[in-house]
């Protein structure tokens, strides 16, 4: 059974499309990862951040929208088929496996993290965190919640696992409903609610009274926005540019394959340029304006600049989100209400991203392996649930971190380089530029033709080479890994390898059994419905 026609399964409205694409990008990283990336470098971080957004992020988003819509015209909802349509070479379809592997494996741990926010919203609402007055107390409370405190063989907490099951069930339910009846409806409601909650929390943080000479909101905002001569010196350090570009990839959800699948349901008459830009700008508003105005300023007011930097350096901004902010909410009027808002905001941000992560795998089963949708949902659900157990039960042995590095960091950068080279240099920017502007309401400035042809692919390939140079061998050999963690990191790698082998087989099987893959070249000029 082939995927249903776009009019039955595709996007029901332009607003729903933009909200879904923006929701795909907006996630936990907007409120937690972004401040943590920015604070160590001061205001200098925002210079490479915006340069990467303009020269890499937005062009890459347009590239992925173009690849996706073009692939959808040939009934391909995932990147193996899409890449084959760009480059008629036997290897192209196997390179496209990354567009299914990466989001599925990221979803394995992302939903678990997302469930923490749901559980903490409940704990704030019921007063379970009440009475804790020190940072270390909140840190211990979080360890107890996820089951890592005094964990021996496994890390397990019944309350944490319960909220994981709820979050998992919600994601699978949305996945089973498809694009227009599931993902679009959730995005149309969740994204506006998320933005409203973000604005309320931003206003509340910006009106916090000072608690010391350097414990003011302005000092908090300065950790991201103030630019000094010392900060400018950091621009000579490669790591600040790498961090900024990595954050752009992460925040726009490019290089993961989800944008391609969403865009495959677009028709020829649908605008790519304006819709793509609107989705990117919506994400940037949430990240830069809202995300940059909540976490760090609130932490600086209550802990001071040095303690906040120390927390970010040692525990990361997940620590501020789950240790520090609950403590802050305990100390302000109506804090429990604002605490519930904060964690609901995080959960909605996570949900609008995670509900897309298993969609490429499901669509691959439907389109390329001809599996019925209901059977496909059951298979994806079973696979996801089984693979999530090591992440949960062996969290104290860094299984989650291992998956995040190979799938959410290095794998993402590698896939970006692959797709930009295929689109810009093999398929050709001339044809890509024409595809991008089919039905376009916004004419992209001509300078972006050259950016997409030279800057984006060259920078992406250079980024892969940098990752290979900067510690890849140590990561492969587990040079700095504690001996007790090594077997569990190998388990994470075996999980990745098993899914990779399945996808390789799936692509081989599809190309051997379905004649649509052997259509003549002239059939690629067919008109889209």
Structure confidence by residue, pLDDT tens digits, 27-74:
998 999 898 888 888 788 999 999 999 999 999 999 999 999 999 988
Q: How many domains does the chain divide into?
A: 1
Domain housing 54: 6-519
pLDDT exceeds 70 at position 4:
no
> What pLDDT is recorded for position 520?
46
105 occurs within a structural domain: yes
Q: What is the CATH number of the domain that holds 386?
A: 1.20.1740
pLDDT exceeds 80 at position 7:
no
Distance of alpha carbon 107 from alpha carbon 340, whole angstroms? 24
The 10s digit of each residue's pLDDT in 79-125 is 999 999 999 999 999 999 999 999 999 999 999 999 999 999 999 99
Q: Yes or no: say if 68 and 266 are a contact pair by the CB < 8 Å rule.
A: yes
Reported as a pLDDT band with limits 50, 70 and 90, residue 347 is very high
> What pLDDT is recorded for position 523?
52
For the beta carbon of residue 208, count every other beta carbon within 10 angstroms.
18
Distance of alpha carbon 348 from alpha carbon 216, whole angstroms? 29
525 occurs within a structural domain: no
Q: Dihedral of the CA atoms 370, 374, 376, 379 (nearest 10)?
A: -140
Distance of alpha carbon 507 from alpha carbon 172, whole angstroms? 24
> What pLDDT is recorded for position 473?
92
Q: For 464-468, what is the mean pLDDT?
A: 91
Reported as a pLDDT band with limits 50, 70 and 90, residue 529 is very low
Q: CB-based burial of residue 179 (10 Å sphere; 0-12 exposed, 13-18 middle, 19+ buried)?
A: buried
524 occurs within a structural domain: no
Distance of alpha carbon 336 from alpha carbon 130, whole angstroms? 9
Q: Look at 523 and 179; give whichever has higher pLDDT.
A: 179
Q: Yes or no: say if 6 and 205 are a contact pair by the CB < 8 Å rule.
A: no
Distance of alpha carbon 187 from alpha carbon 348, whole angstroms? 9
342 occurs within a structural domain: yes
């Amino acid at each position: 059974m082939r995927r249903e026609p776009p009019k039955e399964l595709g996007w029901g409205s332009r607003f729903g499309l933009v909200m879904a694409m923006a929701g795909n990008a907006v996630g936990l990283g907007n409120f937690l990862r972004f401040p943590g990336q920015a604070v160590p470098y001061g205001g200098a971080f925002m210079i490479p951040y915006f340069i990467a957004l303009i020269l890499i992020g937005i062009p890459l988003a347009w590239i992925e929208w173009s690849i996706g819509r073009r692939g959808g015209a040939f009934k391909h909802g995932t990147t193996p088929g899409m890449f084959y349509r760009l480059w008629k070479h036997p290897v192209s379809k196997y390179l496209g496996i990354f567009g299914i592997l990466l989001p599925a494996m990221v979803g394995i741990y992302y939903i678990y993290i997302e469930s923490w926010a749901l559980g903490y919203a409940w704990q704030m609402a019921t007063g379970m965190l009440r009475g804790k007055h020190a940072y270390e107390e909140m840190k211990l409370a979080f360890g107890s919640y996820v089951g890592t405190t005094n964990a021996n063989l496994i890390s397990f907490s019944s309350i944490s696992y319960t909220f994981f099951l709820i979050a998992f069930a919600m994601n699978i339910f949305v996945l089973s409903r498809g694009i227009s009846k599931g993902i679009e409806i959730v995005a149309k409601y969740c994204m506006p609610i998320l933005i409203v909650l973000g604005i309320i929390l931003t206003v509340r943080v910006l009106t916090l009274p000072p608690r010391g000479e350097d414990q003011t909101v302005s000092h908090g905002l300065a950790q991201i926005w103030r630019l000094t001569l010392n900060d400018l010196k950091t621009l000579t350090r490669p790591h600040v540019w790498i961090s900024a570009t990595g954050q752009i990839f992460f925040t726009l959800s490019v290089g993961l394959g989800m944008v391609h699948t969403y865009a495959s349901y677009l028709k020829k008459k649908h605008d790519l340029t304006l819709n793509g830009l609107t989705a990117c700008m919506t994400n940037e508003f949430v990240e830069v304006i809202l995300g940059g105005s909540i976490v760090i300023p609130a932490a600086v007011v209550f802990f001071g600049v040095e303690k906040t930097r120390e927390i970010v350096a040692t525990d990361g901004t997940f620590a501020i989100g789950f240790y520090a902010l609950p403590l802050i909410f305990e100390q302000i009027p109506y804090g429990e209400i604002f605490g519930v808002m904060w964690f609901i905001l995080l959960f909605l941000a996570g949900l609008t991203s995670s509900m897309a992560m298993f969609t490429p795998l499901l669509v691959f089963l439907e389109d390329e392996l001809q599996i019925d949708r209901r059977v496909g949902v059951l298979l994806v659900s079973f696979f996801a649930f089984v693979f999530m157990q090591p992440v949960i039960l062996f969290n104290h042995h860094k299984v989650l971190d291992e998956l995040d590095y190979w799938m959410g960091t290095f794998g993402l950068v590698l896939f970006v380089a692959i797709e930009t080279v295929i689109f810009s240099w093999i398929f050709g920017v001339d044809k890509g530029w024409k595809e991008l502007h089919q039905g376009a309401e916004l004419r992209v400035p001509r300078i972006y033709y050259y950016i997409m042809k030279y800057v984006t692919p060259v920078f992406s390939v250079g980024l892969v080479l940098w990752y290979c140079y900067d510690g890849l061998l140590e990561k492969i050999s587990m040079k700095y890994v504690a001996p007790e963690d090594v077997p569990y990191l190998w388990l994470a790698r075996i999980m990745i390898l098993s899914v990779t082998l399945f996808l390789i087989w799936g692509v081989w099987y599809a190309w051997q059994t379905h004649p649509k893959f052997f259509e003549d070249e002239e059939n690629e000029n067919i008109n889209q419905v």
